[in-house]
Amino acid sequence: MKDLIIPALQKAWVNLEAPTSKKVTRQMIIDDVAPVDLISFMNANNIPPTAYFSGRANGYDAFDAIVLEWEVEVPTTWEDNEGYHKRVFNGHAFRYVSAALIEAGYKRVSPNSSEFKKFPSVYEMLFDEDMLVSYYSLYFVKK
């Protein structure tokens, strides 16, 4: 089983692509801007025409300022990519491992959910091959 799981996880890691950009919301307060001057204010501050009106929450279920909000694309950071891998890798890896084990004659079984408490995420177990094998052996048995 170990000979099937490790190559499948390596293939899953290579094929997992993190996004290269993310959307971030920018906002600018427009309390002091007259409605007649709004278009020139937007042009002067490089606010795109897709901006929309919103409010800045004050913590008391109300707004303390009226703002224009818009979204911009920014490159992802290393921390963003690591967070993406931690969130997504478990499901992504399971597809690759499942395909490899089923092709090799294993069948999927329903594990006891209380047995998973001793395991961290698959991302955190990547370098502990024995723990990975015991983790996936809860899901698959030889026919």
Q: Which residues pair with 108 in a beta bridge?
A: 140
Mean pLDDT over residues 126-143, rounded?
A: 85
Give CA separation, 106 vs 5, 12, 40, 92, 99, in Å.
Answer: 12, 19, 67, 19, 10
Same domain, 83 and 138: yes
Same domain, 83 and 103: yes
Q: In which domain, by residue range, is 48 found?
A: 21-75
Same domain, 15 and 25: no
Same domain, 71 and 81: no
pLDDT tens digit string along 29-73?
888 888 888 889 999 999 999 999 888 877 787 778 888 999 999
pTM across the whole model? 0.64
pLDDT tens digit string along 75-108?
999 898 888 888 888 888 889 999 999 998 898 8
> Using 50, 70 and 90 to split pLDDT, how confident is the model at 5?
confident
Say how far apart CA 47 and CA 31 lie, in whole Å. 16
Q: Based on the structure, what is the number of domains in the chain? A: 2
Identify whether the C-beta of residue 4 lies closer than 8 Å to the C-beta of residue 101: yes
Same domain, 87 and 103: yes
Boundary (domain end) residue, out of 60, 75, 90: 75
Q: What percent of the chain has pLDDT over 70?
A: 100
